[in-house]
Structure 1
Amino acid sequence: MKKSVLRKNILIGSAIFCLFQIPLISASCKNQQKENNHQKDDSSQNQNDNSENQNNNNFSPTPDSSHNNDSQNNHQPTPDDQNHKDPQDNNNSQPTPNEPEENNQDNKPQPDNEEQKNVIEHFNNVAPSLNHGYVIEYDQSNNFYQSLDGLSGEALRNNLFLLQKANRNSTPKYSDLWKTYEDAFVDKFYENDGTVLDFYTEIPNGKDKYSFSFNDRHQGEKVKNEGEKFNREHIIPQSWFGKKNPMRNDAHHVWPSDVIVNAIHGNLPYGTTKNGKIVSSNGSKFGTSVEDGENVFEVINEFKGDIARVYFYFVLTYQDKNLNRGNMANRVFEKINGKYKIKPNFLNTYLEWTKKDNISQFDLDRNNGIYKHQKNRNPFIDYPELIAVYFENDNNFVFKNKGIANKIIKKAN
């Protein structure tokens, strides 16, 4: 009798165990299938990029690249905003090793040591800045802005767009960005050692934990940790505009960055987090935003103005393009009277950022370095007054052409 009861209990226990295991095994299989498909699609997509075509299947910049949920409540990044694909795009298009900003992120990495937890952010730029009593010196021999001279109000806003549209250039090939970086993203201010100036790893008031030479670019090899390789980070994620040119190759918003942190950024907007988690060596954060309650990526204060001016440049220059493919883009951009604009909640954040983190010498050098290759400029760097004109409807400012911004110098007493 006791043996019969014991046998019965064992059978019941085994059945319960199996019931719990079935969904776990099923989920594991699904995740494995997603990972395999992701690697397969990476390999296919990478053949289309002439400069990065090696070891695709080994790439795993994020710990959770198999997650592909874009929930209504959390707005997690999807690989390509698949519900808004352009028919000219590859239907199976997935992020290549050099484009991990499209990866989805659910389980963000935590700071792994006290050094990361104790990173202190400051607004006191190391690079000379307008915040510190400096002024801009102009190269008056350059007439890039001559067509705007004497204009104000709506006429200035309209002609500013026409100027940008007429000079809407980018590097001929995606791989040409590497060369542009050697002129536009050189650390002459912090370590001043000629390394890549990466806004995710640069520690303005201390020694960088990592640095990259220009030979450390990622070319498809497996990357496990921050600080190993850098690649190309789309400040405005590619999925927002369907990976179309000239936006895709435009160095004004495609910056060199650490591979791992690039992947953590995913296709999220930049914004201000509520108690965000530190996810990079210099204190960049991921978390719920104050702007709309969804997830955002927050850079350190030193580069917040730089990021804001990138958004300003992008929505001015490409206002007539399709900029709202998918939920993430729709959080930031809206179309009004045929033109894309930044929604007020994010616009207010970016306006605050650019006021607190004003133009620095890094902005000027970046603008001039990109101009050397693309022959176009970010006007909100050359003339910061245009930010109020274009985004705050300042009709009193009258544009006077002074040339292009060249140097930040001490204000004369």
Structure 2
Amino acid sequence: MRISRTTPWAAGLAAVALIAVPATASAGQERTADPRAAATGSAAIEPYYAAAEGKTGAALKTALHDIVKTQSKVSYDGVWNALKVTDQDPANPNNVILLYSGRSQSKSTNGGGANDWNREHVWAKSHGDFGTATGPGTDLHHLRPEDVSVNSTRGNKDFDKGGSPVSEAPGSLTDSDSFEPRDAVKGDVARMLLYMAVRYDGGDGFADLELNDKVNNGSAPAMGRISVLKQWSQQDPPDAFEKRRNQVIFDSYQHNRNPFIDHPEWVASIW
């Protein structure tokens, strides 16, 4: 089974990132990155999913967990610099793209002040009570830059349809118990949550994260609604930005991949 390669411009951006990143990346990691991963680039992903070939349902989920659980880990402080690379604006290398807002903003404006950007946990860290612990709390596959006030508005809400417009995040909606991101990143959000549900199964000292079809999950290690997330994954397939991001995380930081970016069809096979 072969997976799609990145587009030429995305591969070029990834190559540029690899030249510029090593010192920054290693500063935030718990163990030394494997230099072979950066050297081989996209060629290294050809056999990556071999153990999942031919599997479906629960067997596929287990196989993917066994594949993606092998990773380097980034410290929470190291996430700041990593996001400046993974979420770089393709049109402006000095900026990052904010997830829900869609705004291109200077990399240097990260922090906690008004109109700064900070680190959004797409799988809310209170859902499973993992906080910012190295592991799920620092996993780049679900951490994205976002405006401080928008991040606060999203809070730890589950994802669902409907609500009132979110200030500073055009196209996003929210109500008392759910958040709906703008159309351009609905699939991104879904695939990040799907990854988390596969990667963290309770076997490495953290909670077993699972998706369900509810909101108001509170501190339970669960996020919803899975029926809506499946719709969003189909509605908004992986684009060049998302594919590049997956590749940069693989090449330069964690050395694991989000399988639902490489194989969106696996969503329906598992859930």
Question: Structure 1 length as normaliser, TM-score?
Answer: 0.49
The whole-number CA distance in structure 1 between the counterparts of 2:219 and 2:168 is 31
1:347 correspondence with 2:226: yes
Instruction: Give 2:109's aligned residue.
Output: 216
Match of 2:66, SS state, is helix
Which among 137, 151, 157 is matched to residue 268 of structure 1? 157
| 1:216-250 deviation digits (Å, cap 9, x = unpaired) | 111x5xx34xxx31110111112122214301111
Larger radius of gyration: 1
Instruction: Letter of the 1:259 partner, please give it.
Output: V
Unaligned runs of 5+ in 2: 7-41
Q: Which residues in structure 2 correspond to 1:48-127 (within 5 Å)?
A: none
1:199 correspondence with 2:99: yes
Q: Is the 8 A contact 1:283 1:299 kept in 2?
A: yes
Instruction: Give 1:381's aligned residue.
Output: 261
| 1:177-222 deviation digits (Å, cap 9, x = unpaired) | 122113210121xxx22220112221xxxxx5xx32111111x5xx
Instruction: Give 1:319's aligned residue.
Output: 201
Which among 34, 48, 65 is matched to residue 144 of structure 1? 48
Which among 306, 309, 327 is matched to residue 188 of structure 2? 306
Question: Structure 2 length as normaliser, TM-score?
Answer: 0.73
Unaligned runs of 5+ in 1: 1-134, 203-207, 289-294, 392-413
Q: Classify 1:301/1:146 alpha carbon distance in 2 versus 1 (closer, same or farther; 3 Å).
A: same
Greater percentage in helix: 2
1:157 correspondence with 2:61: yes
Q: Classify 1:265/1:385 alpha carbon distance in 2 versus 1 (closer, same or farther; 3 Å).
A: same
| 1:31-82 deviation digits (Å, cap 9, x = unpaired) | xxxxxxxxxxxxxxxxxxxxxxxxxxxxxxxxxxxxxxxxxxxxxxxxxxxx
Match of 2:190, SS state, is helix
Q: Classify 1:359/1:316 alpha carbon distance in 2 versus 1 (closer, same or farther; 3 Å).
A: same
The whole-number CA distance in structure 1 between the counterparts of 2:150 and 2:58 is 40
Shift in Å at residue 334 of structure 1? 11
The whole-number CA distance in structure 1 between the counterparts of 2:269 and 2:219 is 19
Q: How many residues align?
A: 222
1:233 correspondence with 2:120: yes
Shift in Å at residue 141 of structure 1? 4.1
Greater percentage in strand: 2
Q: Is the 8 A contact 2:89 2:96 kept in 1?
A: yes
Instruction: Give 1:178's aligned residue.
Output: 80
Shift in Å at residue 137 of structure 1? 2.9
Identity of aligned residues (%): 26
Instruction: Letter of the 2:5 partner, please give it.
Output: E
Match of 1:284, SS state, is strand
Instruction: Give 1:279's aligned residue.
Output: 167
Match of 1:241, SS state, is coil
The whole-number CA distance in structure 1 between the counterparts of 2:222 and 2:149 is 30
Instruction: Letter of the 1:287 partner, please give it.
Output: D
Q: Classify 1:145/1:282 alpha carbon distance in 2 versus 1 (closer, same or farther; 3 Å).
A: same
